Amino acid sequence: MTLTIQPDAGIAPVLQAIKKARRSVDIVIFRLDIKEVVDALAAAVARGLAVRALVAHTNRGGEKTLRKLEMRMLEAGVTVSRSSDEVVRYHGKMMIIDGRVLHVHGFNCTKLDVNKSRSFGITTTRRALVREAMKLFQLDCDRQPYTSTCEHLVVSPENSRARLSAFIKGARKQLLIYDPEVSDPRMLRLLGDRVKAGVDVRIIGKAGPSSAVPAEKYPGKRLHVRAIIRDGHRAFVGSQSLRALELDRRREMGVIVTDRKAVRQMAEVFEADWARTSAGLACVDTDIEDVPAWPAPGP
């Protein structure tokens, strides 16, 4: 597994993955406004690759844009399917290259997400994960029911509540959370229980008014990722916040990260971001004030 950090990486990792593809590209699109990505997909078709795009049936304020995007890709030879309207919104973000490399993103391929927002992406060649993602992609293209068979692929509404609840319950020392809105009552109770058990739980983003968990506003321009880092050796990266709508009613997807290097990188980014929050800066000020003043040297 490898980690993509936004906005540091920009769109380059996505473009490179498409350009390196040799047989196929399967991509899920909720929002896309970067012309280079559409051009790269068209170029893949021109090279003789099978390119499929599953496009959300709707997004807030973007209906016309989605339909124009569909037409551009159809004209380029991309096979386009539209997600079912049985879910409130199709919000997941993933790409599968050659049926063997899976990219799960917390970001859309938009200028705002990749250039100005904190987010992560995970790339993996783990066969079980890739197979499960391919199954999900095909079933959603065909608008057929999906049944989860891989514990490391987190998919709403089928399994994310159960998987993320178990993930949180498993914390023994620390939970570092990026989330624009933690509001689900049951998830807030679970996090509160972890706090009571002595676990260091911190949120960059927002938490419900009844939350006992410290939550700090992201100190940069924009927060878009949903991620949880547990005990320094496991993490979750995906598109679903810990709120009822995204757990129970929308198509969302994420992955459990077990690669120690990727998890360590995520933790380092979180701690650097936390240090710039109000709580992080206050902690630094307190540490400075606690340092004893040494006597001035004598003449």
Say if residue 180 is preceded by a cis peptide, omega within 30 of 0. Answer: no
* Beta strand ranges found along the chain (DSSP E): 2-6, 24-29, 50-55, 79-82, 94-97, 101-105, 119-124, 153-156, 174-182, 200-207, 215-216, 226-230, 234-238, 252-257
What pLDDT score was predicted for residue 294? 40
What pLDDT score was predicted for residue 276? 96
pLDDT tens readout for residues 113-156: 999 999 999 999 999 999 999 999 999 999 999 999 999 999 99
pLDDT tens readout for residues 17-43: 999 999 999 999 999 999 999 999 999
Q: For tokens 């514990």, what's the residue? A: 151
Considering only the C-alpha atoms of the chain, give the largest distance between any 2 of them, rounded to a whole number of Å: 85
pLDDT tens readout for residues 60-71: 777 788 888 899
Annotated domain spans of the chain: 2-141, 153-288
SS3 266: helix
pLDDT tens readout for residues 162-200: 999 999 999 999 999 999 999 999 999 999 999 999 999
Q: For tokens 């293209």, what's the residue? A: 141
How confident is the model over 279-291, as a mean pLDDT? 65
Helices (runs of H) and strands (runs of E) counted in the chain: 10, 14
At how many degrees (to 10) do helices 160-169 and 185-196 cross?
A: 10
What pLDDT score was predicted for residue 288? 43
| 296 confidence band (pLDDT: 50, 70, 90) | very low
Q: How far apart are CA 221 and CA 210, in angstroms?
A: 26
Name the CATH code of domain 153-288 (choices 3.30.1360.120, 3.20.20.140, 3.40.50.2300, 3.30.870.10).
3.30.870.10
| 292 confidence band (pLDDT: 50, 70, 90) | very low
| 58 confidence band (pLDDT: 50, 70, 90) | confident
Which one has a higher pLDDT value, 209 or 89?
89
pLDDT tens readout for residues 71-122: 989 999 999 999 988 877 899 999 999 999 999 999 999 999 999 999 999 9
What pLDDT score was predicted for residue 247? 97
What pLDDT score was predicted for residue 212? 80
Q: Is the pLDDT of residue 46 over 70?
A: yes
What pLDDT score was predicted for residue 291? 40
Q: 24 — phi, psi (to 5°)? A: -155, 155
Q: Write the CATH number of the domain with boundaries 2-141.
A: 3.30.870.10
Q: Is the pLDDT of residue 289 over 70?
A: no
Domains 2-141 and 153-288 share a fold: yes
pLDDT tens readout for residues 227-275: 999 999 999 999 999 999 999 999 999 999 999 999 999 999 999 999 9
| 297 confidence band (pLDDT: 50, 70, 90) | very low
| 284 confidence band (pLDDT: 50, 70, 90) | low
